[in-house]
A and B are shown apart, each in its own frame.
Chain A
């Protein structure tokens, strides 16, 4: 494995895309159920949890960028290799591959559930999986540029849906937000934990970093992306809390999709049906980028061809989707993935920090000697 990645110029992307790419990675199936989860913990003070999570997120990103800058032109696998040597480095990288794959899989299963609950109860899971995977296959074959492009275009073609909140906002009962600061610190903290599962996805930065053209701006755009995501989650959660009464909200598995049930247009009576279908467009960037992450890191660890990794990924997912059709299982998997993500996403970057600092010190010394 080459630790240094040489990326040809036509494969490179501008740092500005990180804003959209990281954002689309964080927004996906999770957002539909998130407001309820955070509300169950932190009640009407959920906004505190979200803002705290946002602050932590910014810190994590800053840390990741620091580490990545130390080892320029290296992705996660390369860095791990440099720090821990071949065997340990590779095994940690393999853990990451598995983790990325779990994220990928939980996104697919969750979306399949949406479709089955809201539109087609009779549609088979593996079939919906096949539809999504065929698109992932087609897009990932195009490489990072197409993956990023898909995320940009799909982002632009779905962001207008935020404007649809206008109608539910008119139904808001402002008294649901009070009393403020009434929730215990421990509950707010569990709200933070719940939120952090949902905000996962920024790990993409580990892998995409070497592909970025102007590395100086990485920090700026990644941080902006985090702010944007946090603001979006905050808005949605606040609208949802105002819209539903507390006990009602606790019963809605996907409050955001239920929110769309009040939307109707003169030419389109029921928007919620369309929303679930459009959700495919929101979920796809997630899947495509995760698919790319899994296959690329897999290739870096194992020296297999990325194409073969991709085929393996798709076949494996299809089989797994076929086997596990249980809703209970989906929930457990999502929880489990979230817990792993807490470690690998939020805590891991800080573990690498001392190594990166030592590396920088060494390099400085070498410079001084020369």
Chain B
């Protein structure tokens, strides 16, 4: 018995060690991709990729490497990229996917889907877009202290998302919105200005196609409905006229509008579908915030002044939102997510994304904004 046991153990262990032939991914032999830029080439409509990767080398301190390649499919593009590199190109450390203008107008989902199916790629990869060919953006050489342009762009987006200046669009969130009936994705636009990549605005996608864009200032208003603020910040332009009597005496009125900056902003949204058949929505938005900057010296000691300020802010928000919603109706891109509300209320029948896109321009939105200003900094 003991002998057979020993033989079994011996056999088992020798078998185990004999099969130690797994494909290894030894760090320094890899070309580790941090960002992919996808374009459609103008001549032959082939997929064209700019791959930014780390290649480690004992002597050169700059490990960054940019490779261009072409192909019909993502695999082919990657294999072609590998023809130009002595390192094995792997995408397990991918941080950002950047889509060029043409490919975005064409639809990005097929590429997103391939990446999503790859188990080695994280779901926290950012999806972004550029209005110039991606090669141009990724060839920017000023990327601050970051090790390469890929990690720099990731940091750029991540910081903005954390500061609530942007709506996050990770791979998961993009697909989530893409698949959801009644919500469309928004994606940051990155551009190369003066040899440095920077945020330009947000691209509006209808399904997976680029249809329009928002400025970074608009993001605040979109977030008011589509997301929430924990401590947001906004700058608003208000007409000076109503505030004339509250202006400090020694001030001369020389501009038509003045600026208010609010921070520590926090919002509470309630979207209600009043009537599913006529598609009328009622949106209640509560904003609470603190004033930190005023471009004119308004006397905030007076309660009426504050009241007026609150009213004006509410009005401004409402106006802005109405324009944005109207614009989005024109584009048929529901990035606010009104459709989600519709699907949760509509019992018994399921609608498709296309159906909703057709219905979307018909919605009526009744917006109701209340603002509360809490305190006004340390000086009164």
Q: Which residues of A contact B (CB under 8 A)?
A: 117-118, 120, 122-124, 127, 130-131, 134, 171, 173, 175, 178-179, 182, 243-248, 258, 261-262, 264, 269-270, 272, 311
In chain B, residues 168-221, which have Cβ atoms closer than 8 Å to a Cβ of chain A?
Answer: 170, 172-173, 175-181, 183
B22 contacts A264, C-beta separation under 8 Å: no
Add 4 more A-B contacts to A171-B173, A272-B122 (CB < 8 A).
A122-B22, A175-B343, A246-B181, A270-B122
Q: Check if A261 sits within 8 Å of B123, measured CB to CB.
A: yes
Shortest Cβ distance from residue A147 to the other chain B in the assembled complex, whole angstroms: 20
Q: Say if the beta carbon of B347 comes within 8 Å of chain A.
A: yes
Q: B177, B179, B347: which contacts A182 (Cβ < 8 A)?
A: B347
B269 within 8 A of A: no
Could you say which residues of chain B place their CB within 8 Å of the CB of A248?
175-176, 178-180
Residue from A175, A270, A311 in contact with B344 in the complex, judged by beta carbons closer than 8 Å:
A175
Nearest 3 CB-CB pairs, A to B? A178-B344, A245-B180, A261-B123
Pick the interface stretch among B11-19, B287-295, B363-371: B11-19
Chain B residue with the shortest CB-CB distance to A120:
B22
Q: How far is the CA of A157 from the CA of B194 in the complex (A)?
A: 53
Interface check B144, CB cutoff 8 A: no
Q: Are B348 and A182 in contact (CB under 8 A)?
A: yes
Would you call B176 and A270 a contact (CB within 8 A)? no
Of B19, B179, B345, which contacts A245 at CB under 8 A?
B179
Once the chains are docked, how many angstroms separate the CA of A208 from the CA of B23? 43
Query: Does B345 lie within 8 Å of A179, measured CB to CB?
Result: yes
Q: A173-B340, A179-B347 are in contact. Are A117 and B124 (CB under 8 A)?
A: no
B119 located at the interface, meaning its Cβ lies under 8 Å from any Cβ of chain A in the complex: yes
Q: Are B340 and A118 in contact (CB under 8 A)?
A: no
> CA–CA, A118 to B16, complex, Å?
21
B341 within 8 A of A: yes
- B92 contacts the other chain (CB 8 A): yes
Q: Which residues from A are CB-within-8-Å of B179?
A: 244-248
Chain A contacts for B344, CB-based, 8 A: 175, 178-179
Asked whether, in the complex, the Cβ of A130 is within 8 Å of the Cβ of B12, the reply is yes
Q: Can you pick out 12 interface pairs between chain A and chain B where the beta carbons lie within 8 Å of each other? A: A124-B19, A127-B16, A130-B12, A134-B16, A175-B340, A179-B345, A246-B181, A247-B180, A248-B176, A248-B179, A261-B124, A262-B122
Q: Which partner residue on chain A sits nearest B95 by CB separation?
A: A269
Q: How far is the CB of A272 from the nearest CB of chain B, in Å? A: 8
CB-CB < 8 A to A120: which residues of B? 22
CB distance from B125 to the nearest CB of A (A): 10
Residues of A within 8 A of B347 (CB): 179, 182
Cα distance A21–B132 in the bound complex, in angstroms: 60
Q: Distance in Å from the Cβ of A152 to the closest Cβ of chain B? A: 26
Which residues of chain B have C-beta atoms less than 8 A from A269's C-beta? 93, 122
What are the residues of chain B within 8 A of A182 when measuring CB–CB?
347-348
With contacts A247-B179, A248-B175 taken as known, whether A175 is within 8 angstroms of B122 at the C-beta atoms is no
Cα of A131 to Cα of B92 in the assembled complex, Å: 26
- Which residues does chain A contribute within 8 Å of B180, judged by CB atoms? 173, 245-248
Which chain B positions have C-beta within 8 A of A173? Answer: 176, 180, 340
Look across to chain A and name the residue whose beta carbon is closest to the beta carbon of B352: A247
Q: A130-B15, A130-B16 are in contact. Are A118 and B119 (CB under 8 A)?
A: yes
Q: Which residues of A contact B122 (CB under 8 A)?
A: 261-262, 264, 269-270, 272
By the criterion CB–CB under 8 Å, are A245 and B16 in contact? Answer: no
Residues of B close to A270: CB separation below 8 A: 92, 122
Closest Cβ of chain A: how far from B90's Cβ, in Å? 13
CB distance from B277 to the nearest CB of A (A): 16
A123 engages B22 (CB within 8 Å):
yes
B101-144: which have CB < 8 Å to A?
Answer: 119, 122-124
Q: List the A side residues contacting B183 at CB < 8 Å.
A: 245
| Contact pick for A117, options B119, B175, B177, B345, CB 8 Å | B119
Contact status of A262 and B124, CB under 8 A, knowing A247-B179, A248-B175: yes
Query: When chains A and B are docked, how far (Å) is the Cα of A27 from the Cα of B22?
Result: 30
User: Which residues of B lie under 8 Å from residue A122 when comparing CB positions?
Assistant: 22-23
**Which B residues lie within 8 Å of A245 (CB)?**
176-177, 179-181, 183
Which A residues touch B19, using CB under 8 A?
A: 124, 127
Would you call B119 and A264 a contact (CB within 8 A)? no
Closest to A177 in B: B344
Contacts of B343 in A (CB 8 A): 175
Interchain CB contact under 8 A, B172 and A261: yes
Complex contact B119–A175 (CB within 8 A): no
Pick the residue among A134, A244, A258 that contacts B12 (CB under 8 A). A134
A131 partner residues in chain B, CB cutoff 8 A? 16
- Give complex CA distance A125, B217 in Å: 55
Q: How far is the CA of A134 from the CA of B8 in the complex (A)?
A: 11
**Bound: A127/B12 CA distance, A:** 11
With a CB–CB cut-off of 8 A, which chain A residues contact B119? 117-118, 272
CB-nearest residue of chain A to B123? A261
Tell me which residues from 306 to 357 in chain B have a Cβ below 8 Å from any Cβ of chain A. Answer: 340-341, 343-348
A368 and B335 alpha carbons, distance in the complex (Å): 78
With a CB–CB cut-off of 8 A, which chain B residues contact A244? 176, 179
A362 to chain B, nearest CB (A): 45
Query: Hey, which chain A residues are within 8 Å of B124, CB to CB?
Result: 261-262, 264
A247 and B12 alpha carbons, distance in the complex (Å): 45
Q: Which residue of B lies closest to A245 (CB)?
A: B180
Name the CB-closest residue of A to B4.
A311
**A173 vs B228: C-alpha distance when bound (angstroms):** 12
**A241 CB to closest chain B CB, in angstroms?**
12
Residues of B contacting A124 with CB < 8 Å?
19
CB contacts (< 8 Å) of A130 on chain B: these are 12, 15-16
CB distance from B123 to the nearest CB of A (A): 4
